[in-house]
Structure 1
Amino acid sequence: MLLPHAQTLAQARSYVAALADSALTLDASSAYERVLLELDRVHGDDCPALDSEDLTDDGDIPLAVASSAIEELETHGIDPLAVELILAMLVEAHDLDIG
């Protein structure tokens, strides 16, 4: 994994983790955790660490950044179908979170 790919993945993982930490329900938090697990699975568990320090508490910003970073993974050779499935999981988790 090259540095730009690792940076993009770290950003996606960090913001999804921030969403999981701030989720309003256990179901939503678990759904975000499943997004993280799928990101790890797609990358063969070769994943950079999470860094959710100093991330905004505004729920829309982490969602937008995470979505953008996940979409960008396609430019680093990740299967487009896998990217779309992960994005769908993220949207489903967010829908659970906002009720």
Structure 2
Amino acid sequence: MTPDQRRQSLSQLSRHARDLIARDLQTVLQDGVLVTHAEVMAGTVAVASPVLTKSGQPVAAVCVFGAEMRLRGAALHSSRSQTANAACDISTPPAV
């Protein structure tokens, strides 16, 4: 998506929605992973991390999705690091 396309898409959202997206993007930039709770379905958790090109552009994501009652505490912490590590491994394939 070009910067112009991105601006056009975001301009159609409410100020509140744009603020939420900006917050989530800042979290991903800072932590390399984003955790959401019940965003699509009640009682669920999603953990996602971007797959980046060599120039840092996002091209895909690694995501773990599960029941909140199972994906919490140590399991959530482990999922965060494993998801970020998997995305990093895909982003930087081993040299041949």
- Please say whether Structure 1 and Structure 2 have the same fold, judged by a TM-score greater than 0.5: no
Structure having greater relative contact order (Cα 8 Å, sep ≥ 6): 1
TM-score (norm: length of structure 1) = 0.29
More helix by share: 1
Q: What is the TM-score with the length of structure 2 in the denominator?
A: 0.29
Rg comparison, structure with higher value: 2
> Higher strand fraction: Structure 1 or Structure 2?
2
